[in-house]
Structure 1
Amino acid sequence: MDYITRVQYLNSISRFVDKPIVKVLTGLRRVGKSTLLEMIRYELLSHIKDEHILFLNFESKDGLSINNAQKLVNLVSERFNKDDRIYLFFDEIQLVSEWEKAINVFRVDFNADIYITGSNSKLLSTDISTVLAGRTVNFHIQPFTFKEYKHLLAHLNLTEQALFNAFVQFGGMPFIKYFDLEKEATLKYLMDVYNTVIVKDVLEYNKIRDVDLFNRILRFVIQNIGSTFSALSIVKFLKSEQRKVSVDTVLSYLRMLEEAFVIQKIVREDLIGKKVLKVDEKYYLSDHGFREALGYSNTQSIEKVLENIVLNEMQSRGYEVKIGKVNDLEVDFVAQKHQDKLYIQVSYLLASPSTIEREFKSLSMINDNYPKYVLSMDQLDFSHDGIIHMNIIDFLKSTDSNS
């Protein structure tokens, strides 16, 4: 098979193979969920004979006619005996009405190991909560990390720095490998993916009528990734453009974009009071390449784009990520996985003593022994007082010791 093996996901999923729990893969459209299903089939279940496997993509010709739960149950019942050990792979399951009832039938009446994917978290979570609560495990699939990106484009024989520059500009959507970093074709592809996600998973699904207003809100968020803003500030911005909108409408649109995995909200945590704050959240993109496709230069907003890259990296490694607050200072990311924790500051360059002091100061005020990192594009090592300074590219290439 022609794919880049996504080891971190296969390692996580392998712990649940042949366990009586439904494996749910979620994430942005075209992020590689279908290919990951194939990896599970050929990497984790290569010993299983084909006659015990059903692999069905509901966007394909074979899957298009299976549009409700009863048809899906009939298909599986005709193909397999109930006593057979079978493996069911269903791609874009949300296209089947009442799909959760069919999955529950397979779980109860068949000896089945089940894997499904979907591109809208609201649809999946709502349906799961009604029938399959407590019987699923979710894996959120991200675009490629830089380490995966290097393998994806190894055939171009570019320097590591040139590859990273391209990664900053175009992001990590897997299909861009076919355009060999040709700018016009790559950006057109990213724009087409963006439009498909927005139309199918947000506008059509939520029946949004005022498309112009929605796009203005979305573009505001995309332009201001990694910056603190409120729904009220968006309302004021739109008012300056002669568009009236309520705070509730803005919040509703932001939630819809999160549910379609276009953006993600990162909450803020008071590291001294040990509580999650309900204000000053930040939004980031699932893939920063969409900014460039929409006409916003990623190199001109390099600091925030680097934050977006580091955030996605930590989430791909399985960390839950928050923003940290220490008195009046901010820690870009607090990443936690089980009992392990990292504190991370991201800067483009530590260009002056004042910049170095600013980036290190908040970390120096945290009184625990968890690792603390300042990441930048500098080649010199500015580590001091137990705080590790590291080149961003080296960090992205490093192996997570807590995997």
Structure 2
Amino acid sequence: MEKDIIKQIILNQQEFISQVKLLPRKISIEENGNYVFVGIRRAGKTYMLYQHILQLLKDGHSKQEILFINFEDERITDIKKEELHLIVECYKEMFAFEPIIFLDEIQNVEGWEHFARRLADEKRRVFITGSNAHMLSREIASTLGGRYLMQEIYPFSFTEYLEYNHITLDTHWHLAPIRTDVVRLFEGYFYNGGLPESFSYTDKRAWLTSLYQKILYSDIVIRNNVRNEQSLRLLVRKLADSVLQPIAIKRLQNILQGDGSKVTRETISSYLGYLHDAYLIFSLCNFNDSIPQREGTKKHYFYDNGILNLFLFQPETKLLENIVAIHLYKQYGEALFYYNKNVEVDFVVPDAGLAIQVSYSLRDEQTRNREVNALVSLSRFMNISTALIISKDQEETIEQDEVNIKVIPAWKWLTE
């Protein structure tokens, strides 16, 4: 690796960052903390680094103190872990400052965590991003040894999307004319998702398709040496089709084999792990199952509605449940479950006493009775303090068998 290339990258980034324009996101960074930010590609991890850098500049730091390296820069994509020390070395040859170090998309440099640990041991300020959940794995966490704080970065929430569109909500916004704007903007967010770079594109589907291909090929196929790419692509489509339903690995195997794909259960399990690591999907377990059984039959959701929508025909019902799942998973993580034993409930958070059904519309009496009765039945044997039905556009309160059920439209619930 030539030092002149690294030096040029450092200088280029110092000039670029000082002029960047961005929408600030809520982020809490401790003054002396080192951080690893991970999440799906294009969720805004790099711009969160830029946001922190701009705050540092505002606080009086010089742009010459910034050492920013993007490891997807084609000039250094072949850098090896043995060469990573050159980054600080090159900086020191140009500047007398103690650098504040930003390492963007470093996950493809095998062994990067040893370099990161040494930087922390040298008492340097370091911020790292990556697009693979393996960066949160037990092995890497052990190497880093508690020297870094880990944060997952998600696509924009609906509230952030509204802020991007210059909509600020006050206490009684839903009673004001601005409500019309919120409902209108929700339609775009609902179908196209919350990946911020997509907002500026007219043909959002083309951009999302390109991003999906990049994630699938670079973050999954290449990284994991996947030989049967066709089966992997088919699996993603089947997961999109099954968003509303729990599905076992054996069932997925039967579906794929029915389409002519010869895959083992072990291969499917590996592929699911790769999709998780690349932040394409996340999964929920059945709360009623024993811990071993929970690993068998899960509900799978996509981290972004825009990517999910690439695979759907008549997508509304699945997109609604998926958008609710994203919001809940961001808040509750692995404390979020579905419930399926004699009664089916879409989402439960036992620790919070929360149960949620998702129904696009309750205008059909049979659908209404099914959703309400499920929540009432669950409340008989689980301590439920909050029971919700999230719809596309309906709002009311239902009282049945001393259970109070709030029906709320998704566009309103997502802002609470």
Structure 1 residues 135 and 162, CA gap change in structure 2 (3 angstroms): same
Amino acid at match of 2:234: R
Helix, strand or coil: the match of 1:387?
strand
Structure 1 residues 91 and 238, CA gap change in structure 2 (3 angstroms): same
Checking the alignment, whether the CA contact within 8 Å between 1:67 and 1:97 is kept in structure 2 is no
Percent of matched pairs sharing the same residue: 26
The superposition leaves residues 262-304 of structure 1 with CA deviations (integer Å, 9 ceiling, x where unpaired) of 1111112129x8998333211011112123334x23xx23222
- The alignment status of 1:382 with 2:414, answered yes or no, reads no
2:11 alignment partner in structure 1: none
1:38 alignment partner in structure 2: 50
1:245 alignment partner in structure 2: 263
The superposition leaves residues 315-337 of structure 1 with CA deviations (integer Å, 9 ceiling, x where unpaired) of 3346545223264112212347x
Q: CA deviation at 1:66?
A: 7.6
Amino acid at match of 1:36: M
- The alignment status of 1:256 with 2:274, answered yes or no, reads yes
Structure 1 residues 60 and 124, CA gap change in structure 2 (3 angstroms): farther
Q: CA deviation at 1:386?
A: 2.7
The gaps in structure 1 that reach 5 residues or longer are: 399-403
Match of 1:168 among 190, 193, 198: 190
- The alignment status of 1:139 with 2:151, answered yes or no, reads yes
2:200 alignment partner in structure 1: 178
Checking the alignment, whether the CA contact within 8 Å between 2:286 and 2:340 is kept in structure 1 is no
Match of 2:300 among 283, 288, 308: 283
Helix, strand or coil: the match of 2:284?
strand
The superposition leaves residues 318-374 of structure 1 with CA deviations (integer Å, 9 ceiling, x where unpaired) of 6545223264112212347xx745322211111134333322333333343532222
Q: Distance in 2 between matches of 1:126 and 1:277?
A: 21
Q: Distance in 1 between matches of 2:414 and 2:278?
A: 26
Structure 1 residues 73 and 46, CA gap change in structure 2 (3 angstroms): farther
For 1:1-400, list aligned pairs within 5 A. Answer: 1-7=20-26, 10=27, 13-14=28-29, 16-19=30-33, 22-43=34-55, 46-47=58-59, 48-60=61-73, 64=76, 67-80=79-92, 86-109=99-122, 111-122=123-134, 125=137, 128-129=140-141, 131-154=143-166, 159-179=181-201, 182=202, 185-270=203-288, 277-294=294-311, 296-297=312-313, 300-317=314-331, 319-325=333-339, 327-335=341-349, 340=352, 342-364=354-376, 365-366=378-379, 367-368=382-383, 370-384=385-399, 385-398=403-416
Instruction: Determine which structure has more spread, i.e. the larger CA radius of gyration.
Output: 2
Structure 1 residues 374 and 45, CA gap change in structure 2 (3 angstroms): farther
Q: Distance in 2 between matches of 1:145 and 1:239?
A: 37
Structure 1 residues 237 and 373, CA gap change in structure 2 (3 angstroms): same
Helix, strand or coil: the match of 1:163?
helix
Checking the alignment, whether the CA contact within 8 Å between 2:287 and 2:338 is kept in structure 1 is yes
Question: Quick check: 376-385 or 254-263, which moved more?
Answer: 376-385
Amino acid at match of 1:302: E
Structure-1-length-normalised TM-score: 0.84
Structure 1 residues 375 and 124, CA gap change in structure 2 (3 angstroms): closer
Helix, strand or coil: the match of 2:191?
helix
Q: Distance in 1 between matches of 2:291 and 2:404?
A: 23
The superposition leaves residues 128-154 of structure 1 with CA deviations (integer Å, 9 ceiling, x where unpaired) of 245213333221111112222223345
Checking the alignment, whether the CA contact within 8 Å between 2:81 and 2:111 is kept in structure 1 is yes
Checking the alignment, whether the CA contact within 8 Å between 2:320 and 2:392 is kept in structure 1 is no
Q: Distance in 2 between matches of 1:130 and 1:275?
A: 25
The gaps in structure 2 that reach 5 residues or longer are: 1-19, 168-177
Q: Distance in 1 between matches of 2:142 and 2:395?
A: 55
Question: Quick check: 219-228 or 354-363, which moved more?
Answer: 354-363
Q: Distance in 2 between matches of 1:290 and 1:106?
A: 36
Matched positions, count: 378
Structure-2-length-normalised TM-score: 0.81
Structure 1 residues 86 and 276, CA gap change in structure 2 (3 angstroms): farther
Q: CA deviation at 1:309?
A: 0.5
Q: Distance in 1 between matches of 2:323 and 2:57?
A: 32
Q: Distance in 1 between matches of 2:136 and 2:115?
A: 14
Checking the alignment, whether the CA contact within 8 Å between 2:37 and 2:128 is kept in structure 1 is yes
